[in-house]
């Protein structure tokens, strides 16, 4: 047995579908309650669905009883304040695990490269069921921001940068692709992130929204690239240091 995975993600590990018209919706992300939860930079999160419906963002496996990232329970207060976000998370009709809004403060390209990570989406997920992936619905109009995706964390040649204007919708295998957002604005960025179980219903939703699995990445200014390279080289040196010392 193995997990059910959607063939459309085989190619690049991500898919971008038609943009959603965000302009007509109320800015529900400004009304909901946030908790301090650090992940990939200066962030706060607002849980819309959590492991057992509490106002918290911990991994579902860190609860008693532990569970995989499925069967999320709506957090009553935030569900009531964000009906549109709930509706959008439910649109494909597949099992939902964690569902939350991330608030990310501005950062640099080098910060984002430093923050690259993969998610632990499938811990405790029973073999033979659907592989858990994540949807990212950008809520704010972050014209200069990008979601950085890398197949290999340390290889810039494997990098794709997905632009993040309002309404951007992407589904990403975040346990395969290293990811982080470069957000050079002066206001926080908000994005709805939902764990979805891979299933035929999700493929149908993707197929009906004009999916693309390859995109043209916007260029990164030379000075931003240089700073990221400088910090990567510094990190590599620091990681090697203990070895050098043990030889001495």
Alpha carbon distance 218, 228 (integer Å): 16
Give least dist CB 42 to Fe ion, A.
15
Give least dist CB 247 to Fe ion, A.
36
* Residue 111 lies near Fe ion (rule: CB under 5 A): no
* Residue 173 lies near Fe ion (rule: CB under 5 A): no
Give least dist CB 136 to Fe ion, A.
10
Give least dist CB 119 to Fe ion, A.
4
Site for Fe ion in 47-66 (CB under 5 A): none
Residue 50, Cα to own-chain centre: how many angstroms?
Answer: 16
Judged by beta carbon, residue 28 or residue 119, the one nearer Fe ion is: 119
Stretch that binds Fe ion, among 111-119, 182-190, 217-225, 227-235 (CB under 5 A): 111-119
* Residue 119 lies near Fe ion (rule: CB under 5 A): yes
**What are the Cα distances from residue 194, in Å, to 197, 237, 244?**
10, 37, 43
Stretch that binds Fe ion, among 15-23, 85-93, 106-114, 116-124 (CB under 5 A): 116-124
Let me know: does 217 contact 146? Beta carbons within 8 Å.
Answer: yes
Alpha carbon distance 116, 179 (integer Å): 5
Per-residue contact flags (x/-) with Fe ion for residues 5 to 44, judged by CB under 5 A: ----------------------------------------
Alpha carbon distance 190, 21 (integer Å): 15
Stretch that binds Fe ion, among 7-15, 55-63, 67-75, 114-122 (CB under 5 A): 114-122
Alpha carbon distance 24, 102 (integer Å): 21
| DSSP assignment of 184-221 | -SSS-EEEEEEEEE--HHHHHHHHTT--BS--PPPP--
Residue nearest to Fe ion (CB): 119
Judged by beta carbon, residue 103 or residue 119, the one nearer Fe ion is: 119
Alpha carbon distance 232, 236 (integer Å): 6
Judged by beta carbon, residue 78 or residue 115, the one nearer Fe ion is: 115
Query: How many chain residues touch Fe ion (CB under 5 A)?
Result: 1
Helices of type H across the chain? 76-81, 83-90, 109-115, 200-207, 222-247
Contacting residues toward Fe ion, per CB under 5 A: 119
């Amino acid at each position: 047995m193995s997990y059910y995975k959607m063939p459309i993600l085989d190619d690049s590990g991500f898919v971008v579908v038609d943009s959603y018209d965000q302009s007509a919706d109320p800015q529900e992300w400004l009304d909901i309650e946030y908790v301090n939860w650090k992940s990939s930079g200066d962030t706060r999160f607002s849980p819309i669905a959590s492991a057992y419906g509490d106002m918290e963002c911990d991994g579902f496996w860190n609860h008693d009883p532990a569970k995989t990232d499925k069967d999320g329970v709506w957090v009553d207060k935030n569900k009531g304040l964000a009906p549109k976000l709930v509706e959008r998370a439910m649109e494909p009709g597949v099992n939902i695990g964690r569902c939350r809004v991330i608030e990310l403060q501005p950062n640099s390209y080098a910060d984002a490269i430093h923050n690259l990570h993969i998610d632990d989406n499938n811990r405790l997920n029973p073999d033979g069921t659907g592989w858990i992936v994540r949807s990212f619905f950008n809520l704010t109009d972050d014209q200069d921001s990008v979601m950085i995706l890398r197949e290999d964390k340390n290889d810039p040649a494997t990098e794709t940068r997905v632009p993040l204007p309002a309404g951007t919708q992407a589904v990403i295998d975040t346990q395969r692709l290293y990811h982080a957002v470069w957000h050079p604005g002066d206001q926080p960025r908000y994005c709805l992130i939902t764990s979805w179980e891979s299933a035929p219903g999700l493929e149908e939703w993707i197929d009906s929204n004009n999916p693309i699995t390859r995109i043209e990445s916007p260029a990164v200014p030379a000075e931003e690239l240089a700073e990221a390279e400088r910090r990567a080289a510094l990190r590599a040196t620091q990681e090697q240091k203990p070895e050098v010392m043990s030889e001495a």
